[in-house]
């Protein structure tokens, strides 16, 4: 079967209509992610359908994955109407704000979109320097809190949980930069898209720093390729766990694997490092790997575990300082308050 962007959008609409027919609490549905954007949504010939269902009651669950074929699935996020109640808060929300600013509308039972977007887009405030900086600073603050939590962890005690916390802090600070001129970065294209965002933010040097934080200089395409079988095995094992993050789901294996392979075969193979180590760490946290496991060996090679762990946390601190200086420079140039410190 030939799968196209148009056929996937049609599946999204059919899914939204079916859910709304069977569940009267569903009042709206929209599409976000790569299918809702211009350009080719495929990476390695696969993509997912990021569908959001809005309920007029508390959401029955936060997320579910529905397999379509080995290569395609629907990633359904359930939200409550109350999540969109305050458009002022929505504007400064670094995730939900952008999600709702320009999604692909699929269906609504009442005038939900018109009401929310009228407030969200009023007076071009969404793109004003003060609001843009508010979104970036929220992500920056999350990253700084992550660094604080890690600063007391010794190299001997560090494990999958701490590597995951470190990567989350890295993701947040990178998105603090990305949100200065666009939506948050997607997981599979995280390192592909960041250089452009850093360039627009007048700090291209942040790209090299980002690769350094996650151990890019320590590996090459051959090393990443050699890790794939162990990564896939751990992914499959973790996907059987009931409490694992839904990013680690059997239906998402090909989505990640084929995307990673496409990046490895592209012009900048090291861009495959982020999706590989990010969800490998999620999987490893779920299965509690034994010492000297492939994940641990890979993490040590990247400098995310072992004697270099504390050094890497220190480097994150310096990276945060660089980003904070840039945020304050933008704030000063825009006449926005630059210091949040007493």
- Each residue of 147-176: pLDDT tens digit? 999 999 999 999 999 999 999 999 999 999
Q: What is the residue extent of each domain of the chain?
A: 5-125, 128-323
pLDDT tens for residues 191-222? 999 999 999 999 999 999 999 999 999 999 99
Identify which of 320, 6, 326 has the alpha carbon closest to the alpha carbon of residue 144: 320
How much is the pLDDT for 330? 94
Is the model's pLDDT at 338 over the cut of 50? yes
Percent of the chain with pLDDT over 90: 85
CA separation, residue 227 to residues 51, 122, 223, 248, 271 (Å): 31, 49, 6, 17, 15
Q: How do strand 63-67 and strand 49-55 relate by DSSP bridges?
A: unpaired
User: What pTM was computed for the model?
Assistant: 0.95
Sign of CA dihedral 177, 180, 181, 187: positive
Report the alpha-carbon distance of residue 48 to residue 72 in Å, rounded.
6
Is the model's pLDDT at 342 over the cut of 60? no
Q: How sure is the predictor about 1, in pLDDT bands with cuts at 50, 70 and 90?
A: low
How much is the pLDDT for 2? 77
The answer to whether 87 and 110 have CB atoms below 8 angstroms apart is no
Is the model's pLDDT at 292 over the cut of 80? yes
Residue written as token pair 């641990």: 296
pLDDT tens for residues 310-320? 999 999 999 99
Higher pLDDT, 100 or 38: 100
Least confident of 132-146, 174-188, 213-227, 231-245: 231-245
Average pLDDT over residues 185-196: 97
The structure tokens listed for 135 are 């979104």
The answer to whether 80 and 59 have CB atoms below 8 angstroms apart is yes
How much is the pLDDT for 214? 98
Fold of 5-125: Beta Polymerase; domain 2 (3.30.460)
| Continuous H helices in the chain | 5-22, 87-91, 96-101, 112-120, 129-150, 160-178, 190-200, 205-213, 221-238, 253-264, 273-287, 294-302, 309-334
């Amino acid at each position: 079967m030939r799968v196209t962007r148009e056929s996937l959008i049609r599946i999204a609409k059919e899914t939204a209509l079916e859910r709304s027919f069977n569940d009267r609490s569903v009042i709206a549905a929209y599409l976000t992610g790569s299918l809702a954007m211009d350009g080719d949504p495929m990476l390695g010939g696969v993509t997912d359908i990021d569908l959001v269902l809005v309920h007029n009651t508390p959401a029955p669950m936060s997320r579910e994955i529905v397999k379509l074929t080995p290569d395609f699935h629907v990633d359904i996020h359930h939200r409550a109407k109350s999540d969109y109640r305050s458009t002022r808060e929505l504007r400064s929300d670094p995730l939900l704000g952008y999600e709702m600013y320009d999604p692909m509308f699929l269906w609504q039972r009442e005038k939900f979109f018109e009401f929310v977007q009228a407030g969200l887009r009023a007076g071009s405030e969404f793109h004003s320097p003060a609001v843009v900086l508010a979104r970036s600073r929220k992500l920056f603050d999350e990253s700084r809190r992550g660094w604080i939590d890690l600063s007391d962890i010794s190299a001997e005690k560090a494990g999958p949980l701490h590597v995951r916390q470190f990567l989350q802090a890295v993701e947040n600070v990178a998105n603090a930069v990305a949100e200065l001129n666009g939506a948050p970065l997607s997981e599979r294209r995280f390192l592909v898209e960041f250089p452009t965002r850093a360039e627009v933010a007048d700090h291209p040097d942040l790209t090299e720093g980002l690769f350094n934080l996650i151990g890019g200089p320590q590996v090459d395409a051959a090393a990443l390729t050699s890790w794939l079988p162990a990564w896939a095995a751990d992914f499959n094992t973790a996907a059987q766990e009931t409490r694992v993050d839904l990013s680690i789901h059997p239906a998402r294996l090909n989505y990640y694997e084929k995307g990673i392979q496409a990046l490895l075969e592209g012009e900048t193979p090291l861009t495959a490092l982020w999706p590989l180590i990010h969800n490998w760490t999620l999987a490893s946290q779920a299965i509690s790997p034994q010492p000297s496991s492939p994940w641990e060996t890979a993490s040590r090679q990247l400098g995310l575990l072992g004697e270099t762990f504390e050094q890497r946390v220190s480097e994150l601190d310096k990276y945060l300082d660089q980003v904070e200086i840039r945020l304050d420079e933008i704030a000063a140039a825009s006449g926005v308050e630059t210091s949040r410190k007493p």
